[in-house]
Amino acid sequence: MSCNADPLVLDFVEWVAREPRAYAEVIATWKTSCPRLTIWEDAAERGYVARETLPGHGLIIAVTENGERLLRANGR
């Protein structure tokens, strides 16, 4: 059974789930000039991804348990 989730948020969470991403990579890859398209901010606010600091890697974005549940619920 799938949840009613924004397809772009799902795409973003799936992309991050492949491997934790550096904060700078997330900003560079998912930036937009449209203030209505805040995909990664929406995912963070909904608890699907979180910022973490890893020694030797700096600030990264990783999928949370909620994000993993979202992906499973939507067949990803």
> Helices 23-30 and 7-18, interaxial angle, to 10°?
150
Indicate which CATH number applies to the domain containing 21.
1.10.10.10
Rg value, the chain, Cα = 12
Measure the CA–CA gap between 50 and 42, rounded to whole angstroms: 11
User: What pTM value is reported for the model?
Assistant: 0.83
Q: Helix or strand or coil: residue 21?
A: strand
- Residue 28 included in any domain: yes
Measure the CA–CA gap between 30 and 1, rounded to whole angstroms: 28
Tally of structural domains, the chain: 1
- Residue 59 included in any domain: yes
Phi, then psi, of 38 in degrees rounded to 5: -115, 60
9-67 per-position pLDDT tens digit: 999 999 999 998 998 898 888 877 766 667 888 899 999 999 999 888 899 999 999 99
- Residue 63 included in any domain: yes
Domain boundaries, position 30: 7-73
